[in-house]
Every structure is written in structure tokens, then in C-alpha cells.
Structure 1
Amino acid sequence: MNTSLLYENSSSTAAILLGLGEYGRSYLENPNGPSDPADAELLHKYFVEVTAVADPSYLTVYQWEHFELRRWRKWMGSNWSLSIYASVVYLMLIFSVQKIMKNRAPFTLRRALTCWNICLAAFSIMGFLRTAPELFHVLKSEGGFHKSICIRYHHITVLIYTWYTYEAYEPPLRWFMTMNMFVHALMYSYYALKSLKVKIPRNWAMMITCLQLSQMVVGVTINMYSLYIKAFAGTPCACGWENINFALSMYASYFILFANFFYMAYLSKKAKMA
């Protein structure tokens, strides 16, 4: 087993998306691989065959996608608390601007909203095209599913969660990224068209909300599977307890919020009268 191969190639986007998990973290600290032979064996058995890829056939890695992996993983892990401060500033800005604008005439921001939604739609489409090939490739491999697993409130929790878990690079993140990019690609494309006053059937909005609900169901399922594997199956799982509990709580709360929104927007008496 060439342990330096994985380390040297880990700067590629493909390797980053694959996620090494707890058995692979030692590669970031020791180019020669894990010091514990047992860890090295587990890493080789479960992760090396899919992570030791610099230029995979299923994904073109561009030069601008390379960056200093060790440096930024360490920095994100050491400074995740900045996401808390950013969230506090975010809330302060929202409530401050609401107070300032309370008795003022609203601004006309249709063009700005159109540009904003087009940019977010393009970003999400690009993100989906960059993350989906790796997820589908892993799912098609032997034991692929196991490898792939082991609104203010939403923005704040996502920011904190992604920052907090960045250093871990856990396998379930490939699911969360791909699903999120796909749904947001459709959602912001819809918003962009609406801001341009394009008439879109109401059932398209309902379809997008259904996709969001499905995303939360899959998120809960992924974390429940990780929980089962780690607690009862006795199979190595590159997921930490803290991250599983964090993600499970987050997706469960999202499901409740989106289910309530779906009911109020499409099923309630008020919605039917609109």
C-alpha cells in the first residue's frame, strides 16, 4: 500500500469530495500514513480504493480547483467558532435593517433580485454538476451505499454545520452537497423567472417544496443509517457521533419547518382561498 500516494493526491477536488473520515484524518498530519497498523488496514479496506484518485475518469479536475488541503482543513477546524460570530452579525443586520425600514418606502429591487437569483441558480447548477458524478460513481461501486454514508434558522444552522464539519470530511457530506445543489438549482431558477415576471404554473412551486421535503427525508434517513451502522452493525463507519447528532437534529427540524410551510402554503383553508 503506497500511503504517500493518497496524501499527495489529496489536494484534488475529487479526493476532497470523497471524504476520508476518522480513519483518514491521520493522513493530514502524517504523510507516511497512520501509525497504528489497525487503522492503516481499515483505511485500506474501506477508503483507499475510492479516495486515492487524483484525476478520476468520471470527473475532470480543473487547475483552479486545486488548493492547499491540509492548511485549510486545519484552519477551518481551528476557527469553526467564527461561524457563530458570523451568525450573530447576520441576525443583528436583519433586525437592524427591518427596524430602519419599518416606516420607510420599500426599495425597488427587482433587477437586483433577478441578478441575485440567476447567480445563485448558476452556482447551484455548477455545484451539482461537480458533486453528482462522484456520488453516482461511488454508489455504483461495490458497497457503494455504505461508503457514501459512513430561513434564518436554515442559513445559520447550515453555516455553523458546514464550518464545524469541514475538517472531518465525512462521507455523508457528499449526499448533503449533491442534494442541496440540485434543489437550489431548480429553486433559484424558479425565483429568477418569477422576478422577471414570467408566469409559472403554481404546481411548479409545490413541486420544488416537495423536493425540499424529500431532501430532508433523505437527510434524516442517511443519518439514521449512519447511527445504525455505528451503534449496532459493528462495521467501521467514518462518521463521528457529534456530527451524526448535529446533522440528524438539523434535518429533522428542517423537515418539520418545511412540512409546516407546505401545509400553510398549499393545504390550509387560507391557501385554498387564495
Structure 2
Amino acid sequence: MFGLDTFEIYKGNATETLHSTYEYKYALPFEKVHDKFGWTMYFQQNWHHSVSISVIYYVLIRVIQRLMRDRKPFNLQQPLFFWNAGLAVFSVVGLIRFSEDFFVNWYHSGLKYSLCHSCNPDSVAAFWSLLFAISKIVELGDTMFIVLRKRPLIFLHYYHHVAVLVYTIHSGAEHTAPGQAFITMNYLAHSFMYTYYAAAAYGKKLPKWISMVVTTVQTTQMFLGVAVSCYVYYLKVYTDYKCQQSMANLYLAFTIYITFAILFVQFFVDTYFKKSKSKSKVQ
């Protein structure tokens, strides 16, 4: 399927990949992927189920929306607070622990090296990379809170969830090197986003500019994703520099990041400019 099932990593005698050799000075006993080969093979053989999960997820939320049509919305403020607070803490810790590999390599070996070499599969970063992939399934629960509370559900919300899930699982199957930058940016954006949502669920009335900052961070992430993909494409096509990323995965990255960038810009304009104009007209 468009070359997406052609994995070279860990095939035959090819057990070596282009990855960092960085070792963390401090690691908790559980911060290690004990069967990197097994997990990689599992992702390769089952990555397409991320599409199946996405279809089931979409059908399920539409069914729940229909069931909720004539019902009163659930009051889920307290569960929503703990949900968002938990994901905020996870994102902050994940950012701190995962990004060390990426930034240390960037500092010592340059951006090109850090974007073309995946994290050390025997290190702490690999553990938090695996947790990141699993978290994309967990985060589908965000939508349940929206439909059960009968809040507006926009296309950007569920498209973003399923596209990130599919791309993350496929990237895990081939140890996509630019994933180091993508995961770092996502952890960062979600640190802001879930902290904001947790505060709102707690009942804090936050000024509009904070919401704008969160959306700006998310939108910037998408444009940086496009920029990283363009740079890796240049390296792979116009230079002899080797990068741990297949062309199929790279084209997939272009697809989701370009569409994300367009949709987030549209969301930003609709939310913060068109609504402001309409309010001024009413006044």
C-alpha cells in the first residue's frame, strides 16, 4: 500500500539502524524497552490496525452523538479535570525525558544528525517513544468528553487524533528518525494544551490570550513539521546523507503536516478573528 508495508528495519540480517548512541546519565529501572525487536515487529505487522481503530473510533463517536441527541449533557467536570491533568503531567515528563536524546545530539553533532538518526533503541528515549505511541490511543478518549457533554465536535479534532495515531504507529514500525523532532514538539504542545484544559475544567476563567498562545503553539508545530519534512526530503533526494526514514513515511508526514497546518490556520482565524468581528458588529 503505497510502499507503507515495505519495512527494512530488522529484516534478515539487517539488525543495525541509523540511531543515536546517546546514553542517559540517569534512568529509572522501568525506562527501557526490553524487547525492541519484538515491539518493532509487532508494529510492522499490525500498524494497519491503527486505521481500523480510527474507523471504529469515528463510528463510535457518531453513534454516541446520536444517542445523546435527545439527552441532557453529562456533567463531567471533575473527571475531565483529572483526565486533562493526568495527560498534562504525562506530556511534561515525557518532554523532559524524551527530548534529552534529541537535543544532546543536536548540540554535539548538529541538526542534520539529530534529524536523521533515531533515538537510541536501548535508551530512556525509546521507552518514552513507545509510551508516546500508546498515548495516541488513550487520547482518543478526549472526544468522549466532548460528545458526552454535547459540545461542538469539529472536523479538525477527530482528523487530528486519527492522523497522528496512524502516523505515529507507522513511524514506530520503522524507527523514523525525524520522529524525534515530531515527538518532542508534540509533547511540548500537549504540555501547554492539556494544562490549559485542566485549568478550564477546574473552573478557572482564563484570559483569551492564553487560549491564543496554546493554538499558536499547536499551529507552529505543524509548520515546523512541514519544514523538517522538507529538509529531510532535500537530504534524501539531493545529497548522499543517509536518513532513517522511508520515502513512504516521509510522504505520509508531508500529507498530515500540510493538512494540519491548513486546518489549524483556518481554526485560528475562525476562532479569534471572525468571532471577534461578529461580536463587534452585534455590539
Corresponding position: 1:56 with 2:24: yes
The residue number in structure 2 matching 1:237 is 243
**Conserved 8 A contact 2:175-2:244:** no
Which among 44, 54, 71 is matched to residue 87 of structure 1?
54
RMSD: 2.0
Equivalent position amino acid for 2:43 in 1 = M
Corresponding position: 1:261 with 2:267: yes
The structure whose RCO (Cα within 8 Å, separation 6+) is larger is 2
The residue number in structure 1 matching 2:90 is 123
Deviation, 1:104, is: 0.7
Distance 1:56 1:139 in 2: 15
The residue number in structure 2 matching 1:70 is 37
The residue number in structure 2 matching 1:199 is 205
Q: Relative to 1, partners in 2 of residues 1:269 and 1:94: Cα closer, same or farther, differing over 3 Å?
A: closer
The residue number in structure 1 matching 2:195 is 189
Deviation, 1:56, is: 2.7
The alignment of Structure 1 onto Structure 2 pairs a total of residues equal to: 233
Spell out structure 1 runs of 4+ moving beyond 3 A.
Answer: 28-31, 269-272
Corresponding position: 1:174 with 2:180: yes
Corresponding position: 1:225 with 2:231: yes
**Conserved 8 A contact 2:189-2:217:** yes
1:180-204 deviation per Cα after TM superposition (whole angstroms, max 9, x unaligned) = 0011011111111111111211101
**Conserved 8 A contact 1:223-1:248:** yes
Q: TM-score scaled by structure 2? A: 0.77
1:76-123 deviation per Cα after TM superposition (whole angstroms, max 9, x unaligned) = 111111111111110111000000000111111111111111111111
Matched residue of 2:70: which SS? coil
1:177-235 deviation per Cα after TM superposition (whole angstroms, max 9, x unaligned) = 11100110111111111111112111010011111111011100000001111111232
Matched residue of 1:170: which SS? coil
Equivalent position amino acid for 1:251 in 2 = Y
Q: TM-score scaled by structure 1? A: 0.79
Matched residue of 1:268: which SS? helix
In structure 1, the gaps of 5 or more residues are: 1-21, 35-42
Which among 69, 72, 76 is matched to residue 102 of structure 1?
69
Q: Which has the larger radius of gyration?
A: 1
Identity of aligned residues (%): 31
Deviation, 1:269, is: 4.9
